[in-house]
Amino acid sequence: MSVPAIEKWPKGKPRGLSALWRSYAADLRGWALGLAAGYGIAAALLVGGILAVFGAITVAAIALFHFIELRYGVNTAFAALGGGLLALGAILLLAGWLMMGRKAAPLPRPDRQFRAARNMLVGPVIARTVATLRTREAARPDAMTQVLLGAAAVLAAGWIVTTHLGSGPVSKARR
């Protein structure tokens, strides 16, 4: 059973418009959650990548420090490792900044809800109009009008049949 769009809840809010608003709010909530989840995943990947790189750098730094210290001395080993860590940190910060600065998805448009509202409003209006026309006496044709409409329909059908079957003067003129 179809509920008209103007039927009210006990609190006075329209039932159909409230449902459309809830639908759009759910779309907006889904959009916001998707956006937040995307940024959360990006941040977690950044932190995990940074920690993994730091762990690898630590092990490699110890080995590299030892290698450079044996060949060139302690001061050169500290300078080489400090510069490398600085370059790596700059690269990681730039990559994270670029990920966080990516373009966000656009707000969802309420097109689906507008179509549903239009259908909800147009359908009952047309049904009410047709029902009103059927129940009113002014819209009912009298007996003479019905006879004239029937005769016009029979004449139109006869004219169509004779012109297409070829027995009338119009069909002979077409040949």
Q: What is the pLDDT along the chain (175 residues), one digit of tens a residue?
A: 454 545 444 555 556 777 888 888 888 898 889 889 989 999 999 999 999 988 987 887 788 889 999 999 889 888 988 898 899 899 999 999 998 888 877 888 888 888 887 777 777 777 777 777 666 665 666 788 888 888 888 888 888 888 877 655 555 555 5
Closest to 80 (Cα-Cα) out of 91, 92, 89, 67: 67
Contact partners, residue 115, CB within 8 Å, separation at least 6: none
pTM over 0.85: no
Distance CA 58, CA 81 (A): 10
| Three-point CA angle 61, 65, 67, nearest 5° | 120
Kindly list the distances between the CA atom of residue 65 and the CA atoms of 53, 87, 90, 111, 140, in Å, as whole numbers in the listed order.
17, 17, 21, 63, 102
